[in-house]
């Protein structure tokens, strides 16, 4: 009975893994194939599409722009939102309702509506639409940063830790830097990675707000879809590898934080 | 000489007063316990003393100096929290050293003091462990070491033993009291456990609904409860009204409204001039060294306790006569 149950267990897990891996594997093989239209397996393998991709300065620039936009918005959120959420959770928990309604609003607004609203509001304001996009991204990742930071603060009983540190003679800033921050770092890094990944793959806002003038990897990918499926696949593989590297880095960093809860 | 004074401390949350003009004093080196049920205001009073909450009005003095407006970090107070609040990212030694680092002591002095605390609290060998690697009792001792290493003027303990199992709790009570005496540390303990309060305190303040119901030594509190609340809270006191007692004792006059009688004050042995109560034994409970049972007599239930003796068999449903000295029938306010 036990063996049977474990067989079904593995079967289910295997099916889910297959469902998740097959598209990725297909994309990976397609990005290395010379031609793959009428045969079960590719007709040949090649690095040609990667050579073309990395030889294209537009691709590298687009990648750089995407990194700058996503990284910029994530760092901005870290610098502004983490201390803000900390202050709210610690000293003004009544304001949490306000933040929560803001979060619901970010989910409720479709990207197209946000984009149209932002274009109407800022297109003639003199503010660069790149800055506007970063601002929109900042709001867009608010739910992830808020949940991650707040949950981490609650998990470590931040209020008690702050009180203990203050009674031991630490000022609020010192207590935050030496006691709170190291203990919520794991949660913050995970939220940041999640936010970064979401922003890196975001298409609607970036395409509508700055698509033509500030071509990012998503816009580049969209254009290449109509030119070559092989190159588009190579872009997806590159994107996936980048996210994998980031994930590994985050996991390594979080695991090396000894003693954290 | 008074070392810590709390004068007319008043505190309200959302318009509801939780502390009503509390006055309290501590001598240097004294171990005082704030005892009371949940919601009586004892933790609020402790947090006001620590500087974590501001009172509506009132004054707190330590060594004669008004500290009411001082921040927690400037009050020179040590505190052990109910949840211990150990810093998870720091080892035992780093946790203990934290307060000394904040005082900017040099490295050698910090190491020396930490080593002494580790020894005093029996944490040798655990210096490099993280809090999550320690048992509840060990975590509690780290919290204690961390709070006393800086040499605070007053040590505050917020139900520090409540999360531990009975055996460890009793051992730690002894250790806590021994360390407190060795360092002559003025200490305030908050607890709802009357046995714990009795075991460790020089003096007990019993709080009820934001008022001090009674204060005194453990002996005074236990043997002379002043009102019904204290009598019921402090032990398994029987509380009777005058009429019930008259009925139980065949017409003896009891002019006060309420009386308290300790369950162990009843004797099974006949003693001259003692009052006599005859009733039917019910609900016998064996509590280790003590046997507790109820005696029903004339519609009144009496709880009695006797040290367990092998030659005395108390059977449910049998008739039994108990004797009580009138001096042990305490009139209540």
Say if residue A97 is in the same domain as residue A132: yes
Token look-up 């390594």 returns A252
Flag whether pLDDT at A260 surpasses 80: no
Sign of torsion over alpha carbons A182, A187, A190, A195: negative
Res A254: pLDDT: 67
Structure tokens, A196: 């970064």
Listed residue (B7, B31, B56) closest to B212, CA to CA: B7
Res B171: pLDDT: 86
Res B311: pLDDT: 66
CATH homologous superfamily of B239-332 equals Nucleic acid-binding proteins (2.40.50.140)
Best probe of the A interface among B50, B76, B89, B93, by most A CBs < 10 A, is B89
What range defines the domain where residue A11 resides?
A: 1-46
Most confident of A180-194, A203-217, B78-92, B252-266: B78-92
In which band, very low, low, confident or very high, does the pLDDT at A13 lie, cut at 50, 70 and 90?
very high
Say if residue A117 is in the same domain as residue A218: yes
**Cβ A149 vs Cβ A85: under 8 Å:** yes
What is the least distance, in Å, from the CA of B82 to any CA of chain A? 9
**Cβ A149 vs Cβ A83: under 8 Å:** no
C-alpha to C-alpha distance for B139 and B156, rounded to whole angstroms: 17
Say if residue A145 is in the same domain as residue A239: yes
C-alpha to C-alpha distance for A215 and A226, rounded to whole angstroms: 16
Task: List, in order, residues 6 or more apart from B323 with CB less than 8 Å away.
Answer: B266, B267, B268, B269, B270, B271, B274, B275, B276, B277
pTM passes above 0.90:
no
Consecutive H or E run containing B184: none
C-alpha to C-alpha distance for B31 and B156, rounded to whole angstroms: 10
Say if residue A37 is in the same domain as residue A83: no
Mean pLDDT of the A246-258 span:
70
Say if residue A153 is in the same domain as residue A239: yes
Q: Which of B72, B81, B130 sits opposite A160 (nearest CB)?
A: B81
Question: Measured between CB atoms, does A182 come within 8 Å of chain B?
Answer: yes
SS3 B318: coil
Question: Measured between CB atoms, does A261 come within 8 Å of chain B?
Answer: yes
Mean pLDDT of the A172-189 span:
91
Q: Do B88 and A259 touch (CB under 8 A)?
A: yes
Burial of B114 from C-beta contacts in 10 A (0-12 / 13-18 / 19+): buried
- Pairing label, strands B258-261, B275-287: unpaired
**H-type alpha helices, A109-228:** 111-122, 129-140, 142-155, 158-167, 172-175, 181-200, 204-210, 217-225
Say if residue A158 is in the same domain as residue A222: yes
Angle at CA of residue B120, ends B119 and B123, nearest 5°: 50
CATH number of the domain where residue A197 is located: 1.10.3720.10
Token look-up 């980031």 returns A246
**Chain A residues within an 8 Å CB radius of B87:** 161, 164-165, 179, 183
Q: Is residue A261 part of a domain?
A: no
What is the least distance, in Å, from the CA of A249 to any CA of chain B? 20
Token look-up 């601002």 returns A135
Most confident of A167-181, A201-215, B285-299: A167-181
Q: Is residue A245 part of a domain?
A: yes
Angle at CA of residue B165, ends B128 and B29, nearest 5°: 75
Residue ranges in chain B modelled with pLDDT below 70:
310-311
Say if residue A33 is in the same domain as residue A103: no
Q: Do B85 and A164 touch (CB under 8 A)?
A: yes
Flag whether pLDDT at A2 surpasses 60: no
Best probe of the B interface among A169, A170, A183, A185, by most B CBs < 10 A, is A169
Per residue in A43-96, pLDDT tens?
Answer: 888 888 899 888 888 888 888 888 889 999 999 999 999 999 999 988 888 898
Flag whether pLDDT at A259 surpasses 80: no
Q: Do B131 and A259 touch (CB under 8 A)?
A: yes
Of all residues in chain A, the percent with pLDDT exceeding 70 is 95
What is the least distance, in Å, from the CA of B130 to any CA of chain A? 6
Q: Do A168 and B132 touch (CB under 8 A)?
A: no
Q: Which of B89, B103, B132 sits opposite A169 (nearest CB)?
A: B103
What is the least distance, in Å, from the CA of B54 to any CA of chain A? 14
Task: Report the number of distinct structural domains present in chain A.
Answer: 2
Per residue in A137-164, pLDDT tens?
Answer: 998 899 899 989 999 999 999 999 999 9
User: CA nearest B53 in A: which residue?
Assistant: A163
Residue ranges per structural domain of chain B = 2-232, 239-332
Res B252: pLDDT: 82
Q: Do B73 and A163 touch (CB under 8 A)?
A: no
Consecutive H or E run containing A156: none
**Cβ B185 vs Cβ B155: under 8 Å:** yes
Say if residue A29 is in the same domain as residue A60: no
Q: Do A259 and B85 touch (CB under 8 A)?
A: no
Say if residue A24 is in the same domain as residue A64: no
Res A194: pLDDT: 85
Measure the CA dihedral B103/B107/B110/B116, to 10°: -170
Say if residue A73 is in the same domain as residue A119: yes
Q: Is residue A51 part of a domain?
A: no
Say if residue A87 is in the same domain as residue A109: yes
CB pairs under 8 A between A and B: 74
Flag whether pLDDT at A197 surpasses 90: no
**Cβ B258 vs Cβ B240: under 8 Å:** yes
Annotate B162-188 with b (16+ C-beta within 10 A) or e (fewer).
eebeeebbeebbebbbebbeeeebbbb
In B83-122, the residues whose Cβ lies within 8 Å of chain A are: 83, 85-91, 98-99, 102-103
- List, as own/partner pairs, every contact residues A98-103 make where C-beta atoms lie below 8 angstroms and the sequence separation is at least 24, other chains included: A99/A142, A99/A146, A102/A139, A102/A142, A103/A142, A103/A143, A103/A146
- List, as own/partner pairs, every contact residues A98-105 make where C-beta atoms lie below 8 angstroms and the sequence separation is at least 24, other chains included: A99/A142, A99/A146, A102/A139, A102/A142, A103/A142, A103/A143, A103/A146
What is the least distance, in Å, from the CA of A162 to any CA of chain B? 9
What DSSP character marks residue B74? G
Say if residue A148 is in the same domain as residue A35: no
Question: Measured between CB atoms, does A149 come within 8 Å of chain B?
Answer: no
Fold observed for domain B2-232: Rossmann fold (3.40.50)
Q: Which residues partner with B302 through β-bridges?
A: B295
Q: Do A169 and B77 touch (CB under 8 A)?
A: no
C-alpha to C-alpha distance for B174 and B164, rounded to whole angstroms: 14
């Amino acid at each position: 009975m036990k063996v049977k149950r474990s067989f079904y267990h593995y079967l289910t897990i295997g099916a889910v893994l297959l469902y998740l891996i097959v598209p990725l594997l297909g994309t990976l093989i397609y990005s290395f194939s010379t031609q793959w239209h009428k045969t079960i397996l590719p007709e040949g393998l090649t690095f040609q599409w990667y050579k073309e991709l990395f030889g294209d300065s537009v691709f590298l620039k687009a990648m750089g722009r995407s990194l700058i936009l996503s990284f910029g918005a994530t760092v901005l959120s870290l610098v502004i939102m983490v201390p803000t959420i900390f202050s709210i959770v610690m000293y003004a928990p009544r304001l949490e309702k306000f933040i929560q309604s803001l979060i619901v609003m970010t989910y409720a607004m479709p990207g197209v509506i946000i984009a149209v609203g932002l274009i109407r509001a800022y297109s003639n304001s003199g503010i660069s639409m790149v800055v506007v996009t970063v601002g929109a991204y900042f709001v867009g990742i608010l739910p992830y940063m808020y949940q991650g930071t707040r949950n981490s603060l609650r998990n470590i009983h931040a209020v008690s830790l702050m009180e203990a540190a203050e009674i031991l003679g630490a000022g609020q800033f010192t207590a935050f830097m030496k006691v709170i921050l190291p203990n919520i770092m794991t949660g913050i890094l995970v939220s940041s990675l999640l936010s970064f990944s979401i922003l890196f793959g975001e298409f609607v806002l970036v395409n509508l707000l700055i698509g033509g003038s500030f071509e990012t990897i998503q816009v580049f990918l969209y254009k290449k879809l109509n030119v070559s499926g092989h190159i588009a696949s190579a872009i997806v593989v590159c994107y996936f590898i980048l996210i994998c590297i980031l994930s590994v880095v985050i996991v390594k960093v979080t695991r090396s934080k000894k003693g954290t809860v | 000489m008074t070392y810590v004074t709390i004068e007319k401390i008043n505190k309200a949350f959302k318009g509801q007063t939780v502390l009503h003009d509390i006055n309290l004093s501590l001598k240097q080196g004294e171990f005082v316990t704030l005892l009371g049920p949940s919601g009586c205001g004892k933790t609020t009073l402790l947090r006001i003393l620590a500087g974590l909450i501001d009172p509506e009005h009132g004054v707190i003095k330590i060594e004669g100096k008004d500290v009411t407006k001082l921040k927690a970090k400037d009050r020179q107070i040590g505190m052990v929290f109910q949840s211990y609040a150990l810093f998870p990212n720091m080892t035992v030694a780093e946790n203990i050293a934290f307060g000394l680092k904040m005082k900017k002591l040099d490295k050698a002095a910090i190491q020396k003091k930490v080593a002494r605390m580790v020894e005093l609290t029996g944490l040798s060998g655990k210096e490099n462990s993280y809090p999550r690697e320690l048992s509840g009792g060990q975590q509690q001792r780290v919290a204690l070491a961390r709070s006393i290493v800086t040499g605070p003027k007053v040590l505050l303990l917020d139900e520090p033993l409540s999360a531990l199992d009975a055996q460890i709790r009793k051992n730690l009570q002894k250790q806590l009291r021994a360390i407190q005496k060795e360092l002559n540390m003025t200490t305030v303990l908050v607890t709802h456990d009357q046995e714990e309060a009795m075991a460790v305190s020089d003096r007990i303040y019993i709080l009820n609904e934001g008022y001090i119901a009674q204060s005194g030594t453990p002996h005074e509190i236990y043997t002379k409860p002043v009102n019904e609340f204290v009598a019921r809270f402090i032990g398994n006191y029987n509380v009777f009204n005058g009429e019930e007692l008259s009925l139980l004792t065949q017409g003896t006059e009891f002019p006060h409204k309420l009386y308290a009688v300790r369950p162990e004050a009843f004797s099974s042995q006949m003693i001259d001039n003692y009052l006599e109560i005859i009733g039917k034994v019910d609900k016998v409970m064996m509590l280790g060294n003590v046997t507790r049972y109820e005696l029903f007599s004339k519609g009144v239930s009496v709880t009695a306790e006797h040290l367990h003796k092998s030659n005395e068999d108390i059977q449910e449903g049998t008739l039994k006569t108990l004797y009580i000295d009138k001096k042990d029938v305490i009139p209540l306010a």
